[in-house]
Chain A
């Protein structure tokens, strides 16, 4: 029956099987997870706004519905200026970091890789610390962090790029080298920083927080993140092919160098933006893909959308906890690690360290 194949014809009817897809209930639940937490985010907080008020304010402000305002100006500020941008940012960054993690895990053929493996977090931390120590305005600090994240990854990529190819092992190793370099520079800045004000500022910044995110931050950060997420989404099936190794992927007609470069660019823009606006949020990009692989399996065609949904919901959940657990906000990075690391350990136990 090889002739059939050669001519590229379809089969005689009745001889195909329908693609296995995770059940629709699974997808409904996965979709409901971030949506419910997003809504919860708008309701919950120290300043009480009733659910009715929240919906009315949203309808009035965003959809221009003809509702007679019966709420206080503070309620509008809290919902529109504080909670809404924060919730959107949490969802975007959670989704972005998780997709980046899943993409890198596919590309590096290793399910334990984090999206920070090429040194983006070390670079961005250094940039932010530099800005903080010179007391630059917030937007400049964010710009510096973003830029240094990109520079760190660019150095990693160029170091790994030998003989016209970029072997995975070289990427991992040069990522370690560049991370170490930027971490030492960060330490240098901490060492010379004034320990009354600037050192604590740097330390807090590095712990990560969504607390200061406003509408303006959201406007700047959302575009690069969404564009890069769309890029990763479109490339998701090619990750399957790429994960078979460079040589095989090339024999299947894939331009592996181009694909790797694109994936690195997309993930770096996402992670660098995330670190620039919200500090270092560890463990999300590692744990969520692993968790999703348990739910939908290893096929990146469904894994990437799953990580997007679960990642968004997960960070919304963690951020809610950060805001509500204690009178003072807990830095985000603390909780993502404190929750993420044990969850990861549990997943590893459950899958017996394996992914086979």
Chain B
């Protein structure tokens, strides 16, 4: 499978003398659900911001479809890659359908407004994600998980080749986490290339196909989920002893990890 996104010898620092990380190398192949795992403050979100084109790297380069991110225009990037941000402030109570429809922006000219086709497309995506009932609800008045799904729908409306998630479940309760992870898994199964940052190792087993584990200032390990997610790597990434458990429930094998408190 072809490589969708690759990072070569990347280094970034807010100040030249103090790099957040350097020598990062990654390859994300088409159709993968690539998880970027690491503790708070390890530079995950910084790396995310570099991939999304918000920050420019100090060293190295990021390639999407073989082309340096720097050479993409804002418009081209939005047509190739959709982004679901973590924190999200809502200034005006737009309807959820209106928010989803904003995903059509990269396909409209500067003076363009969405056509009926765009509206239909937005609505059909909401139907596919099972959130059509939210269409005329104000998206400031829906739950955090539902809002996340609306933003995922908006991203799909862009018709991107890659979707980037920044900690998509970080402020959500169990039900909402399940809702969002389920949607991400479905997208992944349908062949969408996904890159997602998370600080929950258990979510990597749930949705990930590949993982990169970012410890403080360096990459601990990367590769297929089952090979890389070991007790040793996890413990090293988080700086605390972590045990992995295998369990069976209703004939379903699940694997999870837990920090050892002793």
Contacts and interface: CB of A to CB of B under 8 A. Distances in A.
Contacts of A237: 112-114
Nearest to A233: B111
B190 interface: yes
B246 to A, nearest CB: 32
A241 B105 contact: yes
A58 B63 CA distance: 67
Contacts of B157: 5
Interface stretch (A32-40, A60-68, A252-260): A252-260
A111 interface: yes
Of B77, B92, B116, B191, most buried by chain A (CB within 10 Å of CB) is B92
B85 interface: yes
A345 to B, nearest CB: 21
A251 B187 CA distance: 20
B127 A2 contact: no
A244 interface: yes
A16 interface: yes
A46 interface: no
A304 to B, nearest CB: 11
Q: For the complex, would chain A's binding face be called helix, strand, loop or mixed by DSSP majority?
A: loop
B120 A11 contact: yes
Given A10-B120, A299-B94, 20 more contacts: A1-B128, A2-B156, A2-B187, A2-B190, A5-B121, A5-B125, A8-B121, A10-B121, A11-B121, A16-B116, A109-B91, A234-B111, A237-B113, A244-B91, A250-B53, A252-B105, A253-B74, A253-B158, A255-B75, A356-B140
Interface of B: 52-54, 74-75, 77-79, 82-83, 85, 88-95, 98-99, 102-103, 105-106, 110-114, 116-117, 119-121, 123-125, 127-128, 135-136, 138, 140-141, 154, 156-159, 187, 190-192
Interface of A: 1-6, 8, 10-11, 15-17, 19-20, 106, 109-111, 234-238, 240-241, 243-245, 247-255, 258-259, 293, 297-299, 301, 355-356
